Each structure stands twice: as C-alpha cells, then as structure tokens.
C-alpha cells in the first residue's frame, strides 16, 4: 500500500507560511530526532531560503544517543546550527533560545544604528505534523497556549506567542509535502505518528518496524516483550509478542489488530527504548534515499 497524506488544511497551511515568512527574523525548523531526514520537509527548506534558521532535533529523549550524535555532526558539516531538544522535559530549550537571539542580533544592531525603535524578534516554528511544536511552545511560554494532541494536524491556524523578553513566536500548522515519493521515509513517518493512522495499513507499517528493530535493536525487543530470542519472520515475532501480552481471542488465536496497535503505541511512547530509524550511513550526502 502506498502511503500518502496531504489533506486540504495542509495546502492552506503552506500558503499561510509563505504569506508570513517575509516578516520573520529567525526560523526554527523542527525535526523528529528519531527520523531527522525522513521528517525533513523539502518544501520548508525552499521556504526558508537564506533566512537565518536553527535546526532543532526534537524528541531527542526517544532517539538512540549514538545515532543522534552522528546526525548532529552531519548537519553541522552542512553549516547548520543544530540543537538536540526534549520539548516535554525542557532539555535544550535554553540553548535554542540563545541561538535564536544570536542569529537575530545583527538585525537588532542594524535597527539601533539607524535610530529605529527596537521591536521584538519574530521567529517561526516550522515542521511536519506531530513533531512536538505545540509542546515546545507551551514549554517556552510556560502555559498551555497551544493545543497539544497525539493526533497529527491539530494546529489549524496561526497564533503569535510571547516566548521570552522581546522574542515573539508565530505558531503554524504542521505541513507534509504533497507526494511522499520515498516510501521508506513514508513508513517511518507513519510509525512515528506524523501521518494519520487512518491512511496506512497498520500491519504493513508494524511489520516493517519490527523488521528494522530486529536488525538494530534485537535486545530491546526481547527485553520489552520478555522474549528469549527473536526467531522466524517479523510476523512470527509480532505473534510472539501478541501471545506474551495476552492479545488473545476465542480459539486461542492472536488478536493481530490489537497487537499491531500495542507495538505502535509502545514504540511511539519510547517504551521499547531509545530508538532511531534514520541512520546517516543509509542516506547519500545530498537528499533522501
């Protein structure tokens, strides 16, 4: 099954961003630390252009630390300013604000030299759905000004939020790109919750997820689901997990739908462990696989 998700409100959100980015001083581009390249919207890079920006790898607490460090090094080699961040716990937020202020400093100095009244620095958070924008904004503003939800696409309009002294932030809805040509990236977006669960085959996504985890994180799978060892196909492993977790229906059969949902939920919540799906060595130097 080909995965694609670009509902009408995303096209509207894209226009909203394009209309407002001209008044922005610094852009914060938010990626999922578990899938940095898969969660990088190519449209956003074009919209940012040469505007000063900070690349934030959010949900760093859910990512494999060793893999994440490689991604940070990769992006720094590209000349990007990179911050690893845990928006729920707050780790990395101060560093992000510091970098935003540094990037805005030349414009502030320009205003002062011309004798202009200094206004607040305007910044904008851009990213795909469910990457943690609203959670980050709530942490920055110390209040629940932005609605947070587990479902992608909850932020529908724009809103300005004062996040620090002389620092205003424009929140915008999460945006995917119209056609997900790379289906490996699409599956990873589905696995992490960036795509609505209603538009993909859960069996297919969970089977691919278990296949990857069996290769890169076999011990974490065994530890979480109390498996002595991983054997057989990914589907066999899924059935073992279902039986271990008591996902049984009449006739002592595995309730596969319940098992798929269980695995996906526990992966997204980090209960299986700190896991990264995107790896630097799997991608060429430029672009996606």
DSSP 3-state assignment of 230?
coil
- Tell me, yes or no, whether 164 and 28 share the same domain: yes
- Tell me, yes or no, whether 106 and 56 share the same domain: yes
Q: Are 121 and 167 a contacting pair, CB within 8 Å?
A: yes
| 182 belongs to a structural domain | no
Question: Given a cut of 60, is residue 7 above it in pLDDT?
Answer: no
Q: Residues within the annotated binding site for GTP?
A: 58-61, 130-135, 174
| 237 belongs to a structural domain | yes
- Tell me, yes or no, whether 247 and 108 share the same domain: no
Question: Given a cut of 70, is residue 284 above it in pLDDT?
Answer: no
Among 79, 99, 84, 94, CA closest to 32: 84
Last residue of a domain, which of 171, 188, 209?
171
DSSP 3-state assignment of 232?
coil
Distance of CA 132 to the CA centre of its chain: 7
- Tell me, yes or no, whether 38 and 106 share the same domain: yes
Residue 153 and residue 137: Cα distance in Å, rounded? 16
Name the one residue in this structure whose structure tokens are 């799997």.
Answer: 282
Give kind and range of the element (H or E) at residue 23.
none
Torsion of CA 173, 174, 179, 182, to 10 degrees: 170
Structural domain boundaries enclosing 152: 8-171
Q: Residues within the annotated binding site?
A: 58-61, 130-135, 174
pLDDT digits (tens, 9 = 90+) for 30-73: 999 999 999 988 888 888 888 999 999 999 999 999 999 999 99
Question: Given a cut of 80, is residue 268 above it in pLDDT?
Answer: yes
Categorize the per-residue pLDDT at 209 as very low, low, confident or very high, splitting at 50, 70 and 90: very high
Interval 147-173 mean pLDDT: 64
- Tell me, yes or no, whether 131 and 261 share the same domain: no
- Tell me, yes or no, whether 162 and 209 share the same domain: no
- Tell me, yes or no, whether 96 and 156 share the same domain: yes
| 3 belongs to a structural domain | no
Categorize the per-residue pLDDT at 210 as very low, low, confident or very high, splitting at 50, 70 and 90: very high
CATH code for the domain in which residue 223 is found: 1.10.1580.10
Distance of CA 261 to the CA centre of its chain: 20
- Return the higher-pLDDT residue of 132 and 214: 214
Query: What does the block give as tokens for 14?
Result: 């894209």
Interval 185-192 mean pLDDT: 92
Confidence (pLDDT) at 247: 95
Domains of the chain: total: 2
CATH code for the domain in which residue 14 is found: 3.40.50.300
Q: Is the pTM of this model over 0.75?
A: yes
- Tell me, yes or no, whether 167 and 64 share the same domain: yes
Confidence (pLDDT) at 70: 96
Confidence (pLDDT) at 10: 63
Question: Given a cut of 50, is residue 80 above it in pLDDT?
Answer: yes
Name the one residue in this structure whose structure tokens are 């595995």.
Answer: 254
Last residue of a domain, which of 171, 188, 210?
171
């Amino acid at each position: 099954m080909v995965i694609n998700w670009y509902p009408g409100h995303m096209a509207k959100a894209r226009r909203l961003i394009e209309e407002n980015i001209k008044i922005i001083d610094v852009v914060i581009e938010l990626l999922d630390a578990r899938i940095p390249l898969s969660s990088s919207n190519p449209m956003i890079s074009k919209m940012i252009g040469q505007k000063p920006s900070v690349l934030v790898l959010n949900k760093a607490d859910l990512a494999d630390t060793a893999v994440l460090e490689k991604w940070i090094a990769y992006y720094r080699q590209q000349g990007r300013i990179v911050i690893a961040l845990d928006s729920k716990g707050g780790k990395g937020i101060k560093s992000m604000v510091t970098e935003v202020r540094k990037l805005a400093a030349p414009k502030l100095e320009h205003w002062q030299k011309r004798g202009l009244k200094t206004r607040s620095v305007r910044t904008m958070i851009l990213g795909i759905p469910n990457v943690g924008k609203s959670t980050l904004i709530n942490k920055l503003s110390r209040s629940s000004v932005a609605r947070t939800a587990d479902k992608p696409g909850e932020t529908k309009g724009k809103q300005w939020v004062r996040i620090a002294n002389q620092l205003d932030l424009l929140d915008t809805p999460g945006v995917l790109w119209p056609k997900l040509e790379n289906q490996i990236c699409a599956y990873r977006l589905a696995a992490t919750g960036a795509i609505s669960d209603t538009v993909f085959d859960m069996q297919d996504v969970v089977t691919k997820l278990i296949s990857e985890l069996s290769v890169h994180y076999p011990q974490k799978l065994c530890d979480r689901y109390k498996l002595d060892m991983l054997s057989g196909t990914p589907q066999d492993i899924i059935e073992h997990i279902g039986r271990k977790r008591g996902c049984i229906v009449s006739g002592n059969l595995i309730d596969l739908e319940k098992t798929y949902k269980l695995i996906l939920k526990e992966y997204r919540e980090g209960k299986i462990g700190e896991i990264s799906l995107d790896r630097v060595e799997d991608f060429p130097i430029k672009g996606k696989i």
